[in-house]
Amino acid sequence: MKSKHFISLTISHATPLLLIGVFSLFIVLIQKIFGDELREWGFTLADKRIAVDEDLPNFFKAIKISQSDEMFSEQSRLKKHFGFETVDPDTIKVMQVTRNKMPDKAIVGTPWY
């Protein structure tokens, strides 16, 4: 009696798992066989840290007054109407101390994301 444990070409609920397994095996084999060539061409999945010095000042000394006011108003509105906070209360306390100082080098764009 045949066991029917062999791979068949019928599409069933297990087909996506089969495809993922086959493609994963293919990628691993390609990396093992052609790893040096792929690294030369810039295709690699190696964990390599890139040291980037963005020369950014401290966040609390670089945020603009308008952005600080926007954060305060949003925080107070959410707390008053909905009862929750999106910003850490310690962050708000530090920003209240430094909010009236004009930054030497301001962050452009959205400083928090």
Kindly report, residue by residue over 51-83, the tens digit of the pLDDT.
766 777 777 777 777 788 888 888 889 989 999
Identify which has the larger pLDDT, 1 or 101: 101
Q: Six-digit token pair at 37?
A: 């060539």
- State residue 9's pLDDT score: 73
* pLDDT attached to residue 81: 93
Task: List the alpha helices (DSSP H) in 42-113.
Answer: 59-62, 65-81, 89-98
| Per-residue pLDDT, 46 | 61
pTM for the full model?
Answer: 0.43
Task: Please state, in angstroms and rounded to a whole number, the distance separating the CA atoms of residues 78 and 8.
Answer: 57
Question: Looking at residue 98, what is its pLDDT?
Answer: 73
Residue owning tokens 């306390």: 93
CB 86 within 8 A of CB 74: yes
